[in-house]
Amino acid sequence: MENPLKRIEVPIFLTGVLILLLLLGWGTTITFLKQTSKLVVNSATLIFSLGLLTGLVSVILGNTKKVLKRSEDWYISAWTIIVACVMFILGIFSNPFGEHVLFTWIFKYVITPISATTFSILLFYMASSTIRTFRARNLDALTLLITTILIMLRQAPIGAAIWSGFGPIGDWILTVPSMAASTAVLFGVAIGGITLVFRLVTGKERGYLRRG
Amino acid sequence: MNRRIIFLCVIVVVIYPLYNPIGLPIPISPLTRQLFDYTDALPSGTIIVIDPWMSTGSYPELNPMTVVMLNHLMNLDTKIIIINTHHPETLGIIKDITIPMLDIPTDKVYGEDWVFIGFIPGMELGISSFASNPKGVVTKDGYGGDLTKLPLMQEVTDGSDFDLWIAVGKPDYALRQVQEVYNTPMTCLAPGGGAAEAMPYLASGQLKGVMISTRGAAEYELLLQKPGLAVSGMDATSAVHIFIILGIIIGNIYYVLKQKKIVGNKVLE
């Protein structure tokens, strides 16, 4: 006989109930509903932090499979496992706030500069792609090009050194047309969010579940 | 054009101004002025929560803004609660990089005038949890001490006790969970790519001020009369921007001339 807890209706029902509890607690003055809503939020915070541990386990298991199968670049997976385990063990043997000297040293002088460098590399690719491919092929592209140049001259002090008008023009672009477009996007996102909540509560949205 | 040439040129235009500063003047924009004036006029005893959403990749842009804002607040008669709801790595950035860079006056006492609370998981959930029960969601501060015994935390019971919430990064989450629920005033220190997201909230009055990227941080440093990290990088920013703009203009001139030659050939045929 099929295990009733494995039926897909169970998580769908739980999702709907929890969302309704959250919605009922918002904007109400009934103490029980407010407290229940807070309990749901605090429980989700706990689950989120446990999710970090799940992520670590998932990374180690996924990379272990690659190492065992000797897939392409398996040695990078082996290095990932070693680094993850070292940082996890150092974290376990420090106090809860990462005061282990080696843990802090690795984070401050290895991880942080490497991550900052990785993001900084984007500058080179953005400069290269912008210069090589940004062409005014039609009116829309020309408008985008001119706007981009005006905003860049607003952001860099050299724009004001060339002509003092670039600052006010850039500010106008940010506070009028860009703001209007962002507001429209926000409305769309908000309406999409309401639709998504409705679909989650009624069980029509099942993307977060296993297939089906 | 071979992109390696572009990469080399970018390296040169970034490094040269850092070693040979040009010292271009930095005009103050109305947006930064608005935020500075609002912050400077905060009443005595204002309780401020600042939530930097910095990752190891984004901290070069967001850290100067956070540092200059905290330096301003530390020199006012305000009480500051620094939290982190973004990511565990942000805890290390704030504790080991941001806080050591601050110019904290000697009369500011930890626990009475400012508190650093460690990581609160959940992102938007974490903001909501903290706002509804600041002393319940975590019991230790960022240095391992008992949070409930700190005098500053005795003054707060929920989000209605916060007088200002400063979002560093995306303002949406705090707007939904704090500004809308407790009517707490908010300001935002937005990255360059996220400035467009913050502007509608500034126009509606939900945000009282916005600082945009390192340019905004440089302007704020000049308003504080304490030039620092952001100002020092502005010459390199100018050089790279001009290089990219000239590259785009030259590329488009070449493109138009090339197009005319093609059209010219068809006419001749």
- Which residue's entry shows tokens 């959940």? B122
- The span from the CA of A48 to the CA of B57, in Å, is 22
User: Which is nearest to B233 in space by CA: B25, B63, B56, B14?
Assistant: B14
Measured CA to CA in angstroms, residue B59 lies from A30, A135, B18, B204 at distances of: 42, 32, 19, 28
Which residue intervals of B122-226 are DSSP H helices?
A: 124-132, 134-137, 151-154, 172-174, 180-182, 195-204, 213-224
Q: What is the pLDDT at residue B55? A: 87
- Distance (Å) from the alpha carbon of B16 to chain A's nearest alpha carbon: 16
Partner-chain contact A107 B200, CB within 8 Å: no
Contact of B175 with B205, CB cutoff 8 Å: no
- The span from the CA of B65 to the CA of B54, in Å, is 11
Q: What stretches in chain A show pLDDT beneath 70? A: 1, 94-99, 210-212
| C-alpha count within 13 angstroms, C-beta hemisphere, residue B81 | 29
Q: Is B200 exposed, middle or buried (0-12, 13-18, 19+ CB in 10 A)?
A: buried
Kindly identify which residue of chain B lies nearest to residue A180, measuring between CA atoms: B200
A211: left (phi over 0), alpha (psi -120 to 50) or beta: beta
Q: What is the pLDDT at residue B191? A: 92
Contact of A108 with B97, CB cutoff 8 Å: yes
Contact of A170 with A151, CB cutoff 8 Å: yes
Partner-chain contact B192 A155, CB within 8 Å: yes
Residues in chain A with CB shorter than 8 Å from the CB of B244 are 127, 130-131, 152
- The span from the CA of A77 to the CA of A83, in Å, is 10
Measured CA to CA in angstroms, residue A66 lies from A56, A60, A62, A78 at distances of: 16, 10, 7, 8
Q: What is the pLDDT at residue A24? A: 83
Residues in chain B with CB shorter than 8 Å from the CB of A158 are 24, 238-239, 241-242
User: Which is nearest to A43 in space by CA: A53, A35, A31?
Assistant: A35
Q: What stretches in chain B show pLDDT beneath 70? A: 1, 262-269
Q: Is the dihedral of CA B199, A187, B191, B243 positive or negative?
A: negative
> Is any Cβ of chain A less than 8 angstroms from the Cβ of B126?
yes
As a 3-state breakdown, chain B gives helix, strand, coil percent values, each rounded to 5, of: 60, 15, 30
Q: What is the pLDDT at residue B267? A: 40
Residues in chain A with CB shorter than 8 Å from the CB of B122 are 44-45, 48-49
Which residue intervals of A70-210 are DSSP H helices?
A: 74-92, 101-106, 112-133, 139-155, 157-162, 166-175, 177-201
Q: What is the DSSP letter of A203?
A: T
Facing residue for A131 by CB, picked from B57, B137, B251: B251
- The span from the CA of B128 to the CA of B179, in Å, is 11
Interface probe for B, chosen from A23, A33, A35, A41 (most Cβ of B below 10 Å), is A41
Angle B206-B211-B215 from CA coordinates, rounded to 5°: 160
H or E stretch covering B86:
none
What's the ipTM? 0.82
Q: What is the pLDDT at residue A169? A: 92
Facing residue for A108 by CB, picked from B27, B96, B125: B96
B residues 157..186 contacting A (CB < 8 A):
none
- The span from the CA of A51 to the CA of B41, in Å, is 42
Partner-chain contact A116 B57, CB within 8 Å: yes
Partner-chain contact B144 A41, CB within 8 Å: no
Measured CA to CA in angstroms, residue B241 lies from A36, A127, A156, B10 at distances of: 53, 9, 7, 10
- Distance (Å) from the alpha carbon of B44 to chain A's nearest alpha carbon: 31
- Which residue's entry shows tokens 């509608």? B200
> Is any Cβ of chain A less than 8 angstroms from the Cβ of B8?
no
- Which residue's entry shows tokens 């996890």? A88
Q: What is the pLDDT at residue B264? A: 47
Convert A70-83 to b/e letters by CB count within 10 Å (16 or more is b).
Answer: eeeeeeebeebbee
pLDDT tens column, A68-88: 999 888 999 999 999 999 888
Partner-chain contact B56 A131, CB within 8 Å: no
Interface probe for B, chosen from A35, A107, A138, A155 (most Cβ of B below 10 Å), is A155
Structure tokens that stand for B28 in this block: 């103050």
> Is any Cβ of chain A less than 8 angstroms from the Cβ of B27?
yes
pLDDT tens column, B37-86: 999 999 999 999 999 998 888 888 999 999 999 999 999 999 999 999 98
Q: What is the pLDDT at residue A106? A: 85
Kindly identify which residue of chain A lies nearest to residue B10, measuring between CA atoms: A124
> Is any Cβ of chain A less than 8 angstroms from the Cβ of B34?
no
Q: What is the pLDDT at residue A38? A: 82
Which residues make beta-bridge pairs with B211? Answer: B189
- The span from the CA of A22 to the CA of B93, in Å, is 33
User: Which is nearest to A156 in space by CA: B189, B216, B59?
Assistant: B216
Partner-chain contact A158 B1, CB within 8 Å: no
- The span from the CA of A211 to the CA of B135, in Å, is 41
User: Which is nearest to A35 in space by CA: A16, A53, A21, A17?
Assistant: A21
